Amino acid sequence: MSAEEKQKHTGEEAVKGIVVFDLDGTLLCTHIHVCRAVHEVLALHSLPDVEDERIRMHIGEDSTTFLRAIAPDCRDFQLLKKDFRKVEREYLAKEGQLYKGVPEVLAQLRKEGFQLWICSSGSVEYSTVALKRGGIEKYFDEILSARDYESKSHALHIKLSLTPCRNVIVVGDRAGDLEAACKNDLPFVGARYGYGTENEKKHMFFAADTPFAVYSWVVRITLFAQIYEELRKRPVVKCIVSMELIHPGRACLRMIFLSF
């Protein structure tokens, strides 16, 4: 029996936890390469140029939604999409940049025993190029693309059904990331430094302004989970934890200890 099969059979956790990262706006400072790609492709198709701010507003959306928002009057959308993906990959491979602190945070999480996953709206190929460009591919155990499933939520649901790990944390900057966490009953750390709208940021209960703050939240959430699991094992202590969804994405955690 392999180690993985033994883990599934016994239900033991081989890792401290799993941290599921979105890519664009969470690890990758996407607008740096995307804005250049958009300007070049719009010019190639003789379409009106757009401001960088408009481009940033739609980063994190799937490519079809993104391009229709950028070039709604395009007559040959499939060709535009094909050209954009090609040019985008070229700029990503040459100029893609991570947010400051990302490599250090990932290295520390791996050192402390966490598995790291990517769950992106982009393709696996796109994610792989980005991770290689940033020199962080070695830290990740899984790369999931919403394109291969119904949604990010569905991707996580399927993948998590194959792991016995109970401590799973989702990190992202857009509503789709938050939805993936909520639909799978997972804690969500919001990357406020990413491309989320002000309304999306309001629903980030565990909000991080830097990648280092993401690390801090992961550590605290994990500690809470460990304490809870230990207390559950004690016959003289009842521990009740309730999570109430007050409005989409904002959770209120209440912990009550009843000793007797």
Residue-wise pLDDT for 208-217, tens only, equals 999 999 999 9
Report the distance separating Cα 39 and Cα 51, nearest Å.
9
The pLDDT mean for the chain works out to: 87
Tens of pLDDT, residues 43-100:
999 999 999 999 999 998 888 899 999 999 899 999 999 999 999 999 999 999 999 9
**pLDDT (0 to 100) of residue 92:** 97
Report the distance separating Cα 17 and Cα 121, nearest Å.
23
Report the distance separating Cα 34 and Cα 39, nearest Å.
9
Confidence class of residue 238 from pLDDT cuts 50, 70 and 90?
low
- Count of other CB atoms within 10 angstroms of residue 102: 22
- Count of other CB atoms within 10 angstroms of residue 216: 15
Confidence class of residue 235 from pLDDT cuts 50, 70 and 90?
low
46: left (phi over 0), alpha (psi -120 to 50) or beta: left
Contact 110, 139 (CB under 8 A): yes
User: Over 50: is that where the pLDDT of 172 sits?
Assistant: yes
Contact 41, 80 (CB under 8 A): yes
**pLDDT (0 to 100) of residue 109:** 98
Tens of pLDDT, residues 112-124:
999 999 999 999 9
Q: What is the largest CA-CA distance in the chain?
A: 75
Give domain limits for the chain: 3-29+97-230, 31-95
Confidence class of residue 252 from pLDDT cuts 50, 70 and 90?
very low
User: Over 60: is that where the pLDDT of 199 sits?
Assistant: yes
Report the distance separating Cα 29 and Cα 71, nearest Å.
22
* pTM score of the predicted model: 0.84
- Count of other CB atoms within 10 angstroms of residue 127: 23
Confidence class of residue 233 from pLDDT cuts 50, 70 and 90?
confident
Given CATH 1.10.150, say whether it is the number of domain 31-95.
yes
Tokens at 216, concatenated:
């801090």
**pLDDT (0 to 100) of residue 39:** 97
Report the distance separating Cα 186 and Cα 154, nearest Å.
13
Report the distance separating Cα 27 and Cα 236, nearest Å.
44
Angle (CA) 243 245 249, round 5°: 115
Percent of the chain with pLDDT over 70: 85
Percent of the chain with pLDDT over 90: 75
User: Over 90: is that where the pLDDT of 4 sits?
Assistant: no
Given CATH 3.40.50.1000, say whether it is the number of domain 3-29+97-230.
yes
